[in-house]
């Protein structure tokens, strides 16, 4: 009886230590995720500010209107057949005939560098 009680107490201590360790891992992962989200928020804020500044300059110097911009956004949004306010990243054809996904740096079939594409596909 005493041996069984000792064994149970030992198991409880081991399990408690394991749970505590997992808890520490979760806390570290949450801290890292929050840090990464803060960085993403800052990048989005900078990108939004740059886009707004570029649009203001274009509007002031070209006569384009907000309606022109809305029309172009809708047009680009629909290029992949879906109107979901997401930018479609398009594949481009390699010289060997294979299609190279937008995020790939080289052709998976022949190893050639990815064909030239829009600078926005690299974002």
Residue 94 makes contact with Zn ion by CB under 5 A: yes
Q: Is 114 in the site for Zn ion (CB under 5 A)?
A: no
Q: Which two tokens stand for residue 53?
A: 């500044």
Q: Which is nearer to Zn ion, 19 or 110 (CB)?
A: 110
Q: Does 98 bind Zn ion (CB under 5 A)?
A: yes
Report the alpha-carbon distance of residue 89 to residue 64 in Å, rounded. Answer: 26
Cβ pair 114, 104 in contact under 8 A: yes
Choice between 109 and 120, CB closer to Zn ion: 109
What does the alpha-carbon distance between residue 105 and residue 29 come to, in Å, rounded to a whole number? 30
**How far apart are the C-alpha atoms of 97 and 114, rounded to whole Å?**
12
Closest distance to Zn ion from the beta carbon of 111 (Å) = 7
Selected from 110, 113, 118, 120, the binder of Zn ion by CB under 5 A is 110
Q: Where does this chain bind Zn ion (CB under 5 A)? A: 94, 96, 98, 107, 109-110, 112
């Amino acid at each position: 009886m005493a041996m069984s009680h000792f064994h149970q107490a030992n198991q409880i201590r081991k399990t408690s230590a394991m749970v505590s360790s997992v808890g520490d891992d979760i806390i570290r992962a949450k801290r890292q995720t929050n840090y990464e989200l803060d960085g993403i928020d800052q990048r989005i804020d900078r990108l939004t500010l740059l886009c707004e500044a570029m649009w203001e300059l274009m509007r002031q110097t070209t006569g384009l209107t907000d309606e022109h911009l809305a029309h172009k956004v809708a047009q680009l949004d629909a290029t992949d057949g879906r109107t979901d306010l997401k930018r479609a990243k398009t594949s481009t054809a390699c010289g060997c005939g294979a299609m190279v996904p937008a995020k790939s740096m080289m052709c998976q079939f022949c190893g050639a560098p990815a064909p030239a594409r829009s600078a926005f596909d690299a974002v």
